[in-house]
Amino acid sequence: MEFKDEIIFNTVNNGIIILDKELNILAWNKWLEIFTKIKEQDILNKNLCTVFPYINEKKLQRKAKTVLVTKNPSFLSLNTNRFLIDIPVSNITNTIFDSMQQDITILPYDIEKQYICIYIYDNTLMCEINKKLEQVNAELIDMSHKDHLTQVYNRRFFAEQSRKIQLYSQRNNNTPFCLVTLDIDKFKKINDTYGHLFGDEVIIKVAHIVESQIRESDIVARFGGEEFVVLLQNCDLKGAFEVAEKIRKSIENTSISLHNNEDVHCTVSLGIAQFKEEDKDNLENTLSRADKALYEAKNNGRNKTIVSN
Amino acid sequence: MKSIIELNEDEKDCLQELMNISYGAATAAISEIIGKFATLSIPNISTISSSQLREHLNTKLISKYKYYVSNQLINGYLAGENIFIIDEQSSINLAKQFDLDEDEINDNEIKDIILEITNILSSATSGKLASLIDTSISFSAPHITKINSIDEIDKRFEGEYSHVIIISTELNFEEENIKGELMILTKNESSKFLQKALENALENL
Amino acid sequence: MYLVVDDSKMARKMAVKNLRLVVGESPTIVEAVNGQEAVDLYKEYKPKVCFMDLTMPVMDGFEAILHICKFDKDAKIIVISADIQELSMQKSKENGAIGFIKKPVNQENLTSMLTTLGLI
């Protein structure tokens, strides 16, 4: 192959391959020689898909046909094809990918002779930036859903999710679900006696215990300083009572250590309500009934579970 | 740019005939490349604003379905955007037309195929149209997103454009239940360019 | 005289204009807007050559060709179409068309086709 633009062909900062319509290699530029460590003279007239057997031959063949028929470019999308030729990245630091992420353009080179040309662009840096952006976004979304201290859900997210669950249950023959409100007993006293930092530890501990006692399909959120709400899916009052009691006993039996090795115990009061027709499709009403039950528990000695009727 | 570009009856007629020829090139390309036969319906041509574009789409799409939307930018005097919209089921059927087996069909492969068909339709149609009115264009790589509900479409068309000429056609494959919508959009300067080219074509008759 | 059949006004104008460039001002050129009209006008005028589009309402080009060739075995029908798929070209030939011109029609492809068929 004679090229007038030999200099451009060998100095341009992307790969250029010229092929016939069967994908036999007719030219291979310096960029490729350097990145693949294969010299042009060693690869001429070989079939691209034989040298690199991981290439999807059917797809590439079709694209070659497309450019020769439409006489316009075709592309290999980066979203769905990470690369055409597997070239390891040179980075030692700061890398997410092992292989160069490539943007590929396929063009007609000579319509009469049915030759095509493939341009390979290194898009790795852009992809890395995008990936990092995706990660940060995911973290941000997660943060906006969660309570910072305990990492359980926050009130706003709970409202969204519980609404979805309510709709789902209505569409599925009204499968029962319950709300459990939970409040740490005499929390103000704990804060006053042991300090706010310790108070925080107590809240975290209680949150963990609640989480450990519920299923994947249930959700727990922190509603206020020392108040939590749990939504138990597919659960009636009897089942909810069992779960609530397990939580209550577990917390009762847990001790939280102070720095001076003194052990502190705390207890919680709980109120339960099942979503019913009388709530008129409004979860706020269910929550209200659960709160009333919680209030009753507080007024009757604390460290107990009361079920709303 | 105060006045909306309006195409008169003769100009629309002329454009319709040019599109007819361009669609012929596109369906011939499809039949040559994948050996399957497709038709592109007589185009619906209108000049609209971007809010009307949203309305147009809302009438075409069924809210329960999921759609793939791919677009390709055209550069040059006839600059604009070509958009291809296809529902999920049609996409799966389309993948089979590309000889994919059941187990090969996944989201990535479907997206790839839609991008390919968009590229074939777009480059053959716009390419032919450009050559008929004697101008050069180039193509950017097409992009694709999956839309889970009609509301998501609204967000994409938030920009304010006036003088958008939209040439819209339906793609149908002979055997399979495959239905897609191809829209060729030009705005502002390129709409004017297109109108001028149509005027010239009519004058030379 | 010549018969030009196409549902698009623009396409008919282009065909007539280019035909005039090839055959001059004197021959009569009659236009039809669909296959049915084409068959009717063909019976009435018995044109020397008929130029037929394929995609038309009421009756398409394929059918019109079939009908015309039934009552005139020597009909000279040349298809002018944007539909350039192999199958379409084949089908038109099977129905009786003797030539096929890819749109857009121009002086060259028209002259070439008519010369090849020995019609001018």
For C22-42, write each residue's pLDDT tens digit: 999 999 999 999 999 999 999
What angle in degrees, to the nearest 10, is found between the helix axes of A196-213 and A187-194? 140
Chain B touching partners, 3 or more CB pairs below 8 A: A, C
What whole-number distance in Å separates Cα of residue A33 and Cα of residue A35? 6
Would the CB atoms of B24 and C83 count as touching at under 8 Å?
Answer: yes
Q: Which helix (H) or strand (E) holds A205?
A: helix A196-213
Give the domain C2-116 fold. Rossmann fold (3.40.50)
pLDDT computed for residue A23 by the predictor: 96
Query: Which is it for strands B80-87 and B38-40: parallel, antiparallel or unpaired?
Result: unpaired
The answer to whether A213 contacts chain B (CB < 8 Å) is no
CA A287 to chain centre: 30
Q: Let me know how long chain A is.
A: 309
Interatomic CA distance for residues A12 and A27, integer angstroms: 14
Domain segments of chain A as ranges = 6-129, 146-307
List the single residue in B with minimal CA-CA distance to A67: B120
Predicted interface score ipTM higher than 0.90: no
Q: Which residues contact A157 (CB under 8 A, 6 or more apart)?
A: A144, A145, A146, A221
Residues of A (61-90) whose Cβ lies below 8 Å from B = 62-63, 65-66, 69-75, 77, 79-81
**Do the two chains A and C touch, given a threshold of 8 Å on CB pairs and at least 3 pairs?**
no
Please name the member of A65, A71, A75 whose beta carbon is closest to the beta carbon of B119: A75
Sign of CA dihedral A214, A215, A216, A218: negative
Q: Which residue type is seen at A180?
A: V
Strands B38-40, A178-184: pairing kind: unpaired
Between residues A118 and B41, the one the model is more confident about: A118
Q: Measure in Å the smallest separation between the Cα of A202 and chain B Cα atoms.
A: 43
DSSP class of B100: -
Distance separating alpha carbons of residues A32 and A10, to the nearest angstrom: 9
Element spanning C115, H or E: helix C107-116
**CATH node for A6-129:** 3.30.450.20
CB contact (8 A) between residue C82 and residue B24: yes
- Where in the sequence numbering do the catalytic residues of A fall? 226
Which of B33, B112, B141 is nearest residue A80 as measured by Cβ atoms? B112
Instruction: Mark yes or no for CB contact C86/B31 under 8 Å.
Output: yes
Residues of C with CB below 8 A from B14's CB? 10
The closest CB to that of A69, out of B33, B141, B144, belongs to B33
B20 with C103: Cβ contact below 8 A: yes
Sort out which chain B residues have CB atoms less than 8 A from C13's CB and list them: 205
Q: Where are the alpha helices (DSSP H) in A235-307?
A: 237-252, 283-299
Bridge partners, B75 (sequence order): B138
Cβ of residue B17 closer than 8 Å to a chain C Cβ: yes
CA distance C87 to B27: 12
At residue B161 the predicted structure's pLDDT band, cuts being 50, 70 and 90, is low
Which residues, other chains included, contact A204 with Cβ-Cβ below 8 Å and sequence gap of 6+? A149, A150
Interface probe for C, chosen from B18, B20, B45 (most Cβ of C below 10 Å), is B20
DSSP string, C59-74: S-HHHHHHHHHHH-TT
In DSSP terms, which residues pair with A232 in a beta bridge? Answer: A178
> Cβ contacts (< 8 Å) between A79 and chain B: which residues?
108, 111, 144
- What architecture (CATH level 2) is domain B9-203? 3-Layer(aba) Sandwich (3.40)
Residue B1: predicted pLDDT: 43
Q: Which residue of A has its CA nearest to B34?
A: A62
Give the span between the Cα atoms of B78 and B19, in whole angstroms: 14
pLDDT at position B110: 92
State the smallest CA–CA distance between residue A261 and chain B in angstroms: 56
Chain A residues in contact with B120 by the CB 8 A cut-off are 66, 70
**Cβ contacts of B23 on chain C, cutoff 8 Å:** 82
Written as one string, the DSSP assignment of B155-170 is HHT-S---SEEEEEEE
Instruction: Work out the average pLDDT over B125-147.
Output: 92
- What's the pLDDT score for residue B138? 93
Using CA coordinates, name the residue in chain C closest to B27: C85
Rounded Cα–Cα distance for residues B111 and B107 (Å): 6
Q: Are B26 and A66 in contact (CB under 8 A)?
A: no
Closest CA to A276 of A267, A264, A285: A285
Angle subtended at Cα B28 by Cα B22 and Cα B29, rounded to the nearest 5 degrees: 90
Instruction: Count other Cβ atoms within 10 Å, centred on residue A290.
Output: 26
Q: What is the pLDDT of residues B174-195, one digit of tens each?
A: 777 888 999 998 878 888 899 9
- What is the distance between the alpha carbons of residues A95 and A97, in angstroms, rounded to a whole number? 6
Q: Cα(C120)–Cα(C116) distance, rounded to whole angstroms?
A: 9
pLDDT number for residue A93: 78
Task: Please provide the average confidence, as pLDDT, over all residues in chain C.
Answer: 92
With CB atoms and an 8 Å threshold, state whether B13 touches C8: yes
Task: Find chain C residues with C-beta within 8 A of B173's C-beta.
Answer: none
Residue (of A188, A184, A164) closest to A252 by Cα position = A184
**How many Cα atoms within 13 Å fall on the side-chain side of residue A148?**
1
Nearest-10 Cα torsion for A276, A279, A282, A286 = -70
Residue whose entry in the numeric block shows the structure tokens 């390129």 = B190
Rounded to an integer, what is the distance from CA B180 to the centroid of its chain? 9
Q: Do C and B have ≥3 inter-chain CB pairs under 8 A?
A: yes
Closest among A72, A84, A80 to A121, alpha carbons compared: A84
Does C14 contact B28 at a Cβ distance shorter than 8 Å? no
Contact B37 C85 (CB under 8 A): yes
Tell me how close the Cα of B141 comes to any Cα of chain A, in angstroms: 6
Q: Which of A25, A111, A116, A17 is nearest to A74 (CA)?
A: A116
Neighbours of chain A (3+ CB pairs under 8 A): B
How far apart, in Å, do the first and last CA atoms of chain A sit?
89
Residue A274 corresponds to which tokens in the numbers above? 């099942």
Question: Which residues lie below 8 Å from residue B120, measured CB to CB, with a gap of 6+?
Answer: A66, A70, B26, B29, B30, B33
To test the contact with chain A by mutation, choose from B97, B120, B121, B144 the residue with the greatest count of A C-beta atoms within 10 A, namely B120
8 Å CB contact between A220 and A268: no
A80 CB neighbours in chain B (<8 A) are 108-109, 111-112, 115
Q: Which amino acid, one-letter code, is at A250?
A: S
Do B27 and B39 meet the contact criterion of CB atoms below 8 Å apart? yes
CB-based contact (8 Å) between B172 and chain C? no
Using an 8 Å Cβ cutoff, are C91 and C65 in contact? no
Count of Cβ atoms closer than 10 Å to residue A206 Cβ: 26
pLDDT in tens, C80-111: 999 888 888 999 999 999 999 999 999 999 99
Asked whether the CA dihedral A278, A284, A290, A292 is positive or negative, the reply is negative
pLDDT per residue as tens, chain A (309 positions): 665 588 888 999 999 999 999 999 999 999 999 999 999 999 999 999 999 999 999 999 999 999 999 999 999 987 777 899 999 988 877 778 889 999 999 999 999 999 999 999 999 999 999 999 999 999 999 999 999 999 999 999 999 998 888 888 888 888 899 999 999 999 999 899 888 999 999 999 999 999 999 998 899 999 988 999 999 998 999 999 999 999 999 999 988 877 777 788 899 999 999 998 778 778 899 999 999 999 999 999 999 999 987
> Phi and psi for B58 in degrees, rounded to 5?
-60, -30
**CATH no. for A146-307:** 3.30.70.270
Using a pLDDT cut of 70, give the percent of chain B over it.
92
A114 contacts in chain B (CB < 8 Å):
none
> How many angstroms separate the CA atoms of A23 and A83, rounded?
17
Of C17, C82, C87, the CB nearest to B21: C82
pLDDT of residue A167: 86
Task: With residue B185 as reference, give the H or E element that holds it.
Answer: strand B179-186
* ∠ Cα C11 C12 C18 (to 5°): 90
CA B33, CA B39: separation in Å to the nearest integer?
A: 15
